[in-house]
Homo-oligomer: A and B are copies of this chain.
Amino acid sequence: MRGFFHPQSVAVVGVSPRAGNLGRNIVANLETFGFTGPVYYVSPRGGEYKGQTIHQDVRELEQVPELAVILTPAATVPEILESCGQKGIKRVIIESGGFSELDQGHGQLEAQIKDTAQRHGLRFIGPNCIGVICAQSGLAVPFPMLGQAVPKGGLSLICQSGGIGLTYLHRAAMEGLGIAKFASVGNKANVNEEDLLAYYLEDPDTQMVLLYLESIVDGRRMCELIRASDKPVVVHKSNIAHLSHGIAQSHTAALANDDLVVEEALAQCGALRAHTVNDCLTILKGLNMPRPKGRRLAVISRSGGHAVVAADAAYREGMELPPLPPSYLEPIQEAFRASVIKLQNPLDLGDLFHFELYVEILRGALAQDNVDGVVVVHGYRGPEVKPSRQFISQAGDLARQYDKPVALVLLTTAEEMDQARQLASLPIFDAPEEAIKALSMAQKAGGKAAKQGLGCAGAFDTARAERILATAGPDGGLELPEALHLIAAAGLPVAPFLVAGDPAEAAEAAQALGFPVALKAVGAHLSHKSDQGGVVLNLSDVQAVEEAAAKMMNELKPNRLVVMSMISGGQEVIVGAKRDHSFGPVVLVGLGGVTAEVLQDVRLGLAPLAGGEAGAMLDGLKGAALLKGFRGRPPASRPALVAAVNQVSNLISRLPQLRELDINPLLVGPGGVMAVDARASARPPKPQGH
């Protein structure tokens, strides 16, 4: 990827002297950003611009430019890309729009350029993008006029939308966030966000990464990259409103809509997700300070109201405001002698107007061992501007000296906030809530844990599982006995059951299992068997079994019947797995039919789960308290449930043919777990020749 950002020379295809030509903006941006290598102009019409020849074809150039940027009508792009390939150019940025983003017809044009790139072994970014910026090399090829160079810094961006990309560039500059690299990836027909992310995470100039994405090409690779790196990664993933990826085939699929997978997978790998541009900027500002080592804050405010608001925000974000020791508070009390003030955390400075003392109060707070960061809320105008500026400048120095964040919330004019930002060399916030959210997210970014080996042990009969999966019907579905055998092969306890073909066999099976039993009808047409009368519970003698079986055979025409020992008690849990098109195998867990299915209280994790992850998923359920016993029910065995989640994680990870699995319910009692119903489906076999 380096060639896209640090090329020795660039050809701009689409430069013309005509009015309104956008290719000239690219040339202007390269000048503005100080790109020093040769820039060649190319356009089929030829001509001259700025005293330099416009070549009609890249093949005419004497040198081979390291990078070509194309901004010409879509229909002309395949031929131009072909000539780039012939010339031996290995890196191309295609900014032109009019490809797959419009419709399928234009999608064929896109297939054509993908093919051309492959033939010539060249890589391209785009189409339908605004290209890249590298603050170090001065390469800046967006076609919108940028006007001035971005401030240099450690933030690198990958943006699927050029418009949102420009918004981020402008807003970052306004917030004092310096830029290392920027890439607008457009339709991602060749280079995708994961390719660029991998490069950024290795790039020494990049300290943190922001991705704005409307789709994720390879979610699994993205998560692996983020997890393996120390650099914080913020993901603004949008486009959640219009998702409807096919019809859900089981409860697991219905609950695990794509955005839930995105949300959970990003949390699992330690990325910070944002939902709006403003949220993203808040998080980035948090990352642009010394990182808090824990969640304990001191709040210092000149207004009691803002102290209350800050305490509320800390409460909402799960940050602590620990009591401050008398050794710290007492000298302040002395200074306050004539004043009316309550000394606590949050500390309300009230009518104390000694700015030198503010500095000492801040220094004292930073020096406390039980303080990981300080929020200062400071409103000032008019005559207080001068002493405030000095205080703010010293606040920046103190933050660096103690290597702890000082989040400055300034309530003043916009111009003064700009001044303060430069004086402190720290981000400036306009509300306590923003400051505390920023610190909270920055602290979370430091919590990226290394993957601690796999979470699961236990017997797993892969050969048996594969044989069972091979019995799947043409639509991939397994029947109930096979689904139960499959999870048993993974080591999961299943309620004792037998298969029967008629009422007499059912009665025999029931006697063998012992009463009471449940009776379940088996057949592909009976996938919602309980709604259809295909499940009868609590049959307590032979006659009841025979009658229920006869009725079921008569009304539902099942292929077979399952006779199962009645298991009662225990907490109902749903454990499932599915294969996401972008993130790969995913495990789902939820508690109780009601909470999981009606209230959608479920957690997801990418499989295979690492050590501790299954437990974290359980703890993350809103209804987690149900596992600890409820209404006199005994507590559920947590180790057994953790093992079960890991066994399902193993199943979906080890069996690429397994498409979807749904154990609902798994009963969890004090002694262990037991599956009493399950669905599973295999992937249809791939057609020959692919």
Contact = CB atoms under 8 A, between A and B. Distances in A.
Interface string A113-143: 0000000000000000000000000000000
Interface string A301-328: 1111110110111110000000000000
Given A97-B351, A163-B304, A309 B530 contact: no
Contacts of A313: 276
A516 interface: no
A414 B414 contact: yes
A308 B74 CA distance: 23
B311 A241 contact: yes
Contact of A276 (B241, B275, B431, B594): B431
B626 A594 contact: yes
Interface residues of A, number: 73
A379 B315 contact: no
A680 B343 CA distance: 42
B340 A102 contact: yes
Interface string A323-353: 0000000000000000010100000001100
A305 B101 CA distance: 12
A355 interface: no
A689 interface: no
Copies in the complex: 2
A166 interface: yes
Interface in A129-186: 145, 147, 159-167, 170, 174
Contact of A145 (B170, B301, B382, B411): B382
B306 A379 contact: no
A414 B174 contact: yes
A615 to B, nearest CB: 19
B163 A306 contact: yes
Interface string A430-446: 11011000000000000
Contacts of A305: 159-165, 212, 214, 238
Contacts of A145: 381-383
Contacts of A382: 145, 147
A616 B406 CA distance: 46
B164 A340 contact: no
Given A340-B97, A342-B102, A530-B632, A308 B594 contact: no
Interface stretch (A543-551, A579-587, A595-603, A636-644): A595-603
B102 A311 contact: no
B239 A166 contact: no
Interface string A357-391: 00000000000000000000001011100000000
Interface centre among A170, A308, A383, A626 (most CB of B within 10 A): A308
Interface string A380-421: 011100000000000000000000000000010010000000
Nearest to A414: B414
B623 A214 contact: no
Given A97-B351, A238-B308, 10 more contacts: A101-B304, A102-B340, A163-B304, A239-B312, A241-B311, A277-B433, A278-B433, A593-B631, A594-B595, A599-B599
